[in-house]
Structure 1
Amino acid sequence: MNTPSAPPGITVVIPHLNQHNALARCLAALDAGTQKPVEVIVVDNGSARSPQGVVNDYPWVSLIHQPIPGPGPARNLGAARAQGDVLAFLDADCLPDAHWLTHIAAHMARDPHRILGGDVRIERKGRRLNPATAYQAIFAYRMDRYIAQQGFTGTGNLIVHRKVFDAVGPFKGLHHAEDRDWGQRATFAGYRIGFAADLVVYHPPHTATGLRLKWDRQLAHDWTRCTGLGGRIRWAIKALLLIPSPLCAVAEVVTSPRIKGARNRVMALIGLTSIRLYRAQRMLSLLRGHDPERLLHRWNRIDLP
């Protein structure tokens, strides 16, 4: 079936690091959408093996290389090379919904100066979820809350006009939580970030190990903002409050529409308890002098099986 082309003003930017299988699925999902991509830029960030063989299947994809480590610099280079007026940032391990580009075009035609954060949902295979997947199905990627409460959205499903992106400035590097930093700079500059529930992408669940590595990176970033005695005291209090906090989340787990079945809700509670106890332990270890650089450099992208 022939599908109409997406407006030429949209460029999809995808940072990539050692995720060849995931990238292939991502590009295939874009190709199967109701609007074909016109320009997609894959920015490889130092993969052990080039993804050239993956991108060769699609004439609308170009591959460039960013030697500076970190998804922020990779996205910056992609934005600099983009021809479109609208930048659609997507992660290599995300699967865009079939109508993703169609809805982007409609939103940006109505209000090109608005920054949009889309809905990121956990991709599920089967009805019986393990603790890590069940936990993420409820608590991961709640972009609507990030936007409303913290003034940022995730860069794995971020839509912005080039002029707005240039005005806010580039993403920061690996030693920063680049999505939060960029979004809060945009909010401080007076730009409005809106949640677009119809801009849906699906993210594969992290394994339990992957979740811990993700939190290692996040905590290393947060630690850099924890300064002075007052900051250390607040950090310690937060770490200690994490220990009993799963009890306060029982009602949310039981009533959440994001998950179904009593067994899966029990799995979600187990996953929640595990990851919050891990976070508390890591936070207390940083207070005791653990080097945050060791946590940061444990983080890396590996391909999904």
Structure 2
Amino acid sequence: MRPEVSVIVPAYNSATTLGACLAAIRAQREPVAEVIVVDDASTDGTREIARRFGCRLVESPVNRGPAAARNLGIRASRGEILFFVDSDCAPLPDALGVALRIMRDEPDVVCVHGIYALEPMFDDGPIEAYRLLHGHYWRRRHAGRVRTTLFALCAIRRAVFDEVGGFDERLRASEDVEFGDRLGAHHGIVLSAEMAGRHDDDSRLGALLRKQFGRSQLLIPVALAERGPAGIRANSPAAVALAALAAVTLPLGLVAPALLAVPALALAGFVLADPGLLRFVAARRGPAFAGFFFAVHFLVQLAIVAGALAGGLRHLRDRDFGPARVVEEHLSR
């Protein structure tokens, strides 16, 4: 007997991408019992698109973020398997089938999540190409048994939410990482390179850097909440550190031009810190694009460092900033 599958699509101002997302869900080779779009107080045509596709629409009166939207979808659904798809992701036709097969063949696995395909949902230029190359590379590199969950494209047994709880609604980023840390302590999780979806990613540099700065503010509080081994990391810690070193040592050139060798060496180390990434980008897009890729990648690492430092300082001042587990432990002392 095939398990009953409920698809849950959290959406906020997703009119540009939701149609392609729902069309891809409709094209899945495995049948689904229902498609639930959780509208997180959108101000565009998101709700109208969901109705046009015949989806069940759950509406939040105020914008509360993806964690709260997913929890609303869970409560509204009935399936034994919940298939989460972000509204800017179009799963390939066999994505759900891959997840169901893995959970059938490996009984201890309760959650299977996938990777971004190299082909975008819509081709929006070189910044998006950077994002998709990097996103595809690091997800594929970690494929296999993991302790982290990434819910952009993810199938999971409904029963686990009764056991480990839902998403932490205090978090507007890293909520799936925090959830995965709780889940992975007791259950099998697989990141499958066979389960893929086309993604509509950031296409403007300024917007990308602002998003990375904002999201990375929760890196330190979420890391403090982790109980198991460190999960999936999108960026090499060495590369992040070398990018920061290159930036902070650049003013040495004002003291003596010869001291510019320090940031130059740090920058070279940054590019070479993950040789697999360098080979992957050069093989896919050529040396010229690889140069562009690492220039953007350098700026992204600086945004991540700045955001993590800002978030760490904020957490020191305000212990309510971070996952509920950390806040509860602080209050219990």
Fold shared by both chains (TM-score > 0.5): yes
The separation in 1 between residues aligned to 2:69 and 2:133, in whole angstroms, is 29
Q: Of 20, 23, 28, which residue of structure 2 is paired with 1:25?
A: 20
Q: Does 1:63 align with 2:57?
A: yes
Kindly tell me: are residues 24 and 174 of structure 1, through their superposed partners in 2, closer, same or farther at Cα, counting changes over 3 Å? farther
For residue 56 of structure 1, give the secondary structure of its aligned residue in structure 2. Answer: helix
1:46–1:165 Cα change, 3 Å: same
The correspondence for 1:83, drawn from 63, 78, 82, is 78
Q: 1:9 aligns with which of 1, 4, 8?
A: 4
The answer to whether the 8 Å contact 2:213/2:308 transfers is no
Deviations 1:129-159 (A, max 9, x none): 62x3343233226335567797202111121
Residue of 125, 139, 142 corresponding to 1:143? 139
Which runs of 5 or more residues in structure 2 are unaligned?
225-237, 245-265, 322-333
Which residue of the partner structure matches residue 247 of structure 1?
271
From 116, 119, 122, the equivalent of 1:123 is: 119
CA gap 1:259/1:137 in 2 versus in 1, 3 angstroms? farther
Q: Is the 8 A contact 2:25 2:91 kept in 1?
A: yes
Q: Give the SS at the match of 1:20.
A: coil
**What pairs with 1:1-305 in structure 2 (closer than 5 Å)?**
7=2, 9-49=4-44, 51-59=46-54, 61-66=55-60, 67=62, 69-111=64-106, 113-114=108-109, 115-124=111-120, 130=126, 132-140=127-135, 142-143=138-139, 151-175=147-171, 177-188=174-185, 190-207=186-203, 208-224=205-221, 241-243=242-244, 244=266, 246-249=270-273, 251-256=275-280, 259-284=284-309
Q: CA RMSD in A?
A: 3.5
Q: Provide Cα deviations, 1:92-149, integer angstroms capped at 9, x if missing partner.
A: 000110112333333333345511121223434899962x334323322633556779
Using the alignment, how far apart are the partners of 1:33 and 1:116 within structure 2?
16
2:148 alignment partner AA: F
Paired AA for residue 134 in structure 2? F
Amino acid across the alignment from 1:259:
R
Task: For CA contacts below 8 A with separation 6 or more, give which structure has more relative contact order.
Answer: 1
* Letter of the 2:101 counterpart: A
Equivalent residues of 2:12, 2:39 under 8 A apart: yes
TM-score, scaled to structure 2: 0.71
How far apart, CA to CA, are the structure 2 residues paired with 1:238 and 1:262? 19
Question: Matched residue of 1:256: which SS?
Answer: helix
Which residue type is aligned with residue 195 of structure 1? L
SS in 1 for 2:17: helix
Report the AA paired with residue 192 of structure 1: G
Hey, what does 1:302 align to over in structure 2?
Answer: none
Amino acid in structure 2 at the alignment position of 1:184: D
- Secondary structure in structure 2 of the residue aligned to 1:159: strand
Q: Which segment is superposed worse, 155-164 or 203-212?
A: 203-212
Percent of aligned positions that are identical: 23
Task: Give me the whole-angstrom Cα distance separating, in 2, the residues matched to 1:75 and 1:287.
Answer: 27
Judge conservation of contact 1:12–1:90 (CA < 8 Å) in 2. Answer: yes
Tell me, yes or no, if the aligned pair for 2:145 and 2:191 is still in contact at 8 Å. no
Query: Partners of 1:105 and 1:150 in 2: how far apart?
Result: 17
| Separation in structure 2 between the aligned mates of residue 50 and residue 38 of structure 1, nearest angstrom | 25
Question: Is the radius of gyration larger for structure 1 or structure 2?
Answer: 2
CA spacing shift, 1:150–1:275, aligned 2, 3 Å: farther
Deviations 1:244-285 (A, max 9, x none): 362334633431167332222222111111212333344455
